Structure 1
């Protein structure tokens, strides 16, 4: 334990002891018939409890902040290593993303090197449909506290286990979109007032079957999304690229994204990924989708599920005071 943490623990214990002494003295000097004095005693007890809760919250936030800063350093070190490695290649066009002489493949360059400072949990089914979330226990608390939270999900395609678990275990409002289907998957029956589904897709411009994120958020009266899930079959590249220019700060805390790498050349993918990181997105989880590889044609493993934390704005995962490297 570091010296600052030890000092904080001593202060909290000392205040706890002081509260106990004050309350015992109150009990010994106040008669049970004196209701006004009991109200004073209740206030003293509440103040002590509030102090302890505040100090523990401060300690917890301080610990989370330290873990995030260390994660940011580790992530930045990995980026430097990536740049040094790519500098040994003649140019991006000559790099073989699915196996060079060192057996380096695309996903080795973009491994998740940022750690979730809370619990990391898979939400939804094993295999296609489930996603890894950071700090799901914080969202679960909303079930009791009734605190608001917002989840947007693009691409349900008859597999709605992710949305079903969100609706079951949290107080989050879920806004689901998919232009290829007319209803949510069989995992959801009804969904109640917490679920809204619309048969439109996510795109760069508004068309008869596509909407921009900005348009949908305005329609729903939102300025912030806690969790954003995207599986739009390759359209993620152009869509996110448009956000890089239109948003100074991306309006969501987490992003769960399936990447279809075959839709871009390696140089374009590399530059797109680096722009994604420059907007504050840090990958904390990845899960390869091997379904194309088991087909008779034996396609490459070019589908990857990534989960990101947005570190460019304070949110439920990132406390105030965090300083990103870029």
Structure 2
């Protein structure tokens, strides 16, 4: 063998060894076989519908092999959030459902656990509330409701989601817009949509409010009378007037999102984001959005983290301005 050939062989061998060394030192692919979704609310509500629907999109489209859903309700989601923070550290297969209700609950209660302790992955949906009364109620319109509210605020009980959440903030904003003392609001929080529906049907609260889809079945069956929606314009295909067009200048939406556990490294975060992105592009998920009347507000990664930071600041400003926060 000539010197030139020996040198070429040596360079080839050295290059091969270097390549093999790089392959050996590269991190293993983070293929997610299983995903655990913690829903920080009782079954039946919007977070539960979001978590279970998203889980179906993951599993039915073979994005992951298995999805586990756990419910842990209470305190505007902060009980579930605390559990997630403690149990999901560094776990790339764990997801937490949350949203504007949780942001409000944290601000209202000055919670020691907050969303800075988890990893923002993606905003998924947006939804507007509907105000309803049972069909047997003497309240026939928003005008009737506001008249009673002004005459005797404490006698009008409002049933909605956790204290400090979107529903609670909407009631406070309605009070402010109609000249009612916010401190006299009689707000009754429920940990899940099923409990709220039962209370409204049983006449245990004067009026209920939640995302339109949660009450859609009862509205369509005639058991609930819708009074108003909290959107700026009427919702497509839904013949319910807005608060604004009835003289109450209030508009607010409820967004929902998924978060990863604390302490994820960049590779774990990227894999979780990629998994979520695959799911939101499926027909399963898109059909669920259409069925439930949810707006597709998908926003991921750093853009979502920035949005979340702004939402936290704005929500704290609203709650403090309305005097709702704990002293």
- Asked whether the two chains share a fold, i.e. TM above 0.5, the reply is no
State TM-score, norm by structure 1.
Answer: 0.31
Higher relative contact order (CA 8 A, sep 6+): 2
State TM-score, norm by structure 2.
Answer: 0.31
